[in-house]
Amino acid sequence: MTNLQLLWFILIGVLFSGFFFLEGFDFGVGMLIKSFARNDAERDVVIRTIGPHWDGNEVWLITAGGAMFASFPMWYATLFSGFYLVLFLILACLIFRGVSFEFRANMETERWKTFWEWAGTIGSGCAAFLFGMLFTAMIKGMPIDKNGDMTAHFTDYVNLFSIVGGVAVTVLCLVHGLNFIRLKTSGELRDRARDWNKILYPVLFAGEVVFAILLFFSTDFFAKKPLSTTLIVVFLVIVTALAYWGVLGNHEWLSFVGSGLSLISVVVLIFNGLFPRVMVANNPAYSLLIKNSSNSPYTLHLMTILTFSILPIVLVYFIWSYWVFYKRLASPKQNA
């Protein structure tokens, strides 16, 4: 394994971390359109919290996909063709939720408005769940052949472990979304988000514990890397606890950063466990490794130079755009 290959493995991890940190809360906010917001005016505010940002957040996924293609095409090809149906469903969800924000605002009849609200809610929820399921199934080990082609059956994707993984990620996104709403609104909505999180956090803790237990039995993570895996799991629980403490004690930034870090530590857990593989095969001989799945040194070198010259500029204006919209939105008056 060369340094460049290692660097790109880490960069892919960073991009997915960025994606889950950012799109995590807008998935969460999306899920809340129908249940959390109680009327039209509240829904406007809830959607508006992510209005200027959701498409930028989604670009992290596009970039992660593109970077994977540009650095580990074998991984990209195996993962994407192998998880065909799951990815297809994710895409369908992303489409529905993506257009729903714009379309909802422009619908005249209540019925169509409601339709797009549900599209946004279900699309966001299912996308989060399916992402969780995909990554959990991926680390469990899949039937991959010599050519790197994966032919998985229903139970390879859908099993207790992957469902728990999916639910855990969904709940994480949900609390992250609520923490974001607390930062971006004031009044009624801001208080309600806190009440919701007080209930959701205990659920999340339970989910994390079950996930950790299943991780022990379903993957080789603890067997191969006992120390680092344990440390990351402990870190995950600690940041979740900190976030919960933030919720109880009204430290909004702490709880938001905490839930974001929880999502990131899930990604770190996965990437740490994968290393030095990128795809785990049922037959270890066919697992894809970092060292034989990557592009040529020339391309990696080129991509490294380009990335490190473009990325800083991107980060500057990306962060600036959040700065521009830092103002809180007021909750609409009751019965308004």
Partner 1 sequence: MINLGLDILGLARFQFGMTTVFHFFFVPFSIGLAFVVAVMETMYAVKGDKDYKKMAQFWGKMFLYSFAVGVVTGIIQEFQFGMNWSEYSRFMGDIFGAPLAIEALAAFFMESTFIGMWMFTWDRFNKWVHVLFIWLVMFGSSLSALWILAANSFMQNPLGYIINKQTGHVQMTDFGAIVGNPQLWNEFPHVIFGSFVTAAFVIAGCAAWRLLKKDHVTFYRKSLQVALVIGLIFSLGSIASGDTQMRYLLNNQPMKVGAMEGIYKNSTEKGEWTAVAGFDTKAHKTTWSVDIPYVLNLLSYHKLTGTVTGMNQANKELHAKYDKKFGSDINYYVPTKTLFWSFRIMSGASALFALLAIVGLIFNRKKSQAILKQKWFLYIMGLCLWLPFIVNTCGWFITEFGRYPWVVYGLLTIADAVSPNVSVASLLTSNIVYFLMFAGMGVVMVVLCHRTLKAGPDAENTDGYSASDVDIDPYSKGAFNHD
Q: Is there binding between residue 13 and partner 1 (CB under 8 A)? A: no
CA angle 26/21/310 to nearest 5° reads 105
As a whole number of angstroms, the distance between CA 273 and CA 276 comes to: 8
**Cβ distance to partner 1 smaller for residue 94 or 239:** 94
Q: Is there binding between residue 77 and partner 1 (CB under 8 A)? A: yes
**Cβ distance to partner 1 smaller for residue 71 or 121:** 71
Residue type, 95: I
**288, β-bridge pairs:** 279
State which of positions 208-267 bind partner 1 (CB under 8 A). Answer: 250, 252
Stretch that binds partner 1, among 29-37, 148-156, 165-173, 283-291 (CB under 8 A): 148-156
Q: What are phi and psi of 289, to 5 degrees?
A: -110, 155
Q: Is there binding between residue 10 and partner 1 (CB under 8 A)? A: no
**Cβ distance to partner 1 smaller for residue 55 or 209:** 55
Stretch that binds partner 1, among 24-32, 170-178, 196-204, 290-298 (CB under 8 A): 290-298
H/E stretch holding 312 = helix 297-324
Structure tokens at 107: 């619908």
* Least distance between partner 1 and beta carbon 309 (Å): 10
Length of the chain (residues)? 336
As a whole number of angstroms, the distance between CA 28 and CA 171 comes to: 8
Find out whether the peptide bond into 312 is cis, omega within 30 degrees of 0: no
Among 38, 58, 200, 216, binds partner 1 (CB under 8 A): 58
* Least distance between partner 1 and beta carbon 126 (Å): 14
Q: Is there binding between residue 191 and partner 1 (CB under 8 A)? A: yes
DSSP 8-state assignment for residue 286: G
State which of positions 14-43 bind partner 1 (CB under 8 A). Answer: 41
Find out whether the peptide bond into 276 is cis, omega within 30 degrees of 0: yes
Q: Is there binding between residue 325 and partner 1 (CB under 8 A)? A: yes
State which of positions 296-315 bind partner 1 (CB under 8 A). Answer: 296, 298-299, 302-303, 306-307, 310-311, 314
